[in-house]
Structure formats: structure tokens, C-alpha cells
Amino acid sequence: MVPRTKVVLVWIPSHVRIPVNEKVVEVAKLALNQEMPGDKQVIWSDLKPKVNTHLEQLWQTDGDTEVNNRLLEIRPNLKERPVSVERLNRK
């Protein structure tokens, strides 16, 4: 006889009640109903900096308005990234 193992799957909603993520989901759903241009192509390397800048602005705004934000206490400006040891060694 093969021993039986009980497997329980639990879904953890990772972005529930996080305003920025909920807004992204809302905008993505709206985009589903829009017509896509047929002959326009976007190169990801051209788009990526704009997407990153927009997301950083959303996260910063969201973080600035959140009450008891521990990350804000540690790093008030998300744009300022800590210098990594790797980057220091390159100089």
C-alpha cells in the first residue's frame, strides 16, 4: 500500500489592500477592453525606464501617505539607493 499524504494548498493574496498594486490591477483590467494597435511595436528597452520611473513615483507617493511606514523611516526617498559593495569595488 502507498501511504497517503494530505496536501493543503493555501492561497495568499500578496497584493490585497496595497493601494498601488490594486491600482495596477484596475488599470490592467481596463486595458483588456481597449483596442490594440495592429502595426505599432514597442521595444521593451525603450519602455522599461519609463515604467520603472512611473512605478517608483507610485511607490514613493504611496509610501509617503502610509501611516507607520517602517520603510519610510529607514529610507525616506526610494530614489536614493544604497551603494553596494560591488559598485564600490569597481572604482
Find the mean pLDDT for residues 30-57.
82
Cα 83 off chain centre by: 21
Say if 7 falls within a structural domain: no
Which residue has better confidence, 36 or 27? 27
The pLDDT of residue 5 is 79
User: How many distinct structural domains can be found in the chain?
Assistant: 1
pLDDT band at 87 (very low <50, low <70, confident <90, very high): low
> Is the per-residue pLDDT at 46 higher than 60?
yes
CA angle, 69 then 67 then 61, to 5°? 75
Looking at residue 37, what is its pLDDT? 67
Domain membership flag for residue 24 = no
Quote the crossing angle between the two packed helices 19-32 and 44-65, to the nearest 10°. Answer: 140
CA separation for the pair 64, 55 (Å, rounded): 14
Lookup: cell for 22: 490594486
**What pLDDT sits at residue 90?**
61
Whether residue 15 lies inside any domain: the answer is no
Cell matching residue 74: 529607514
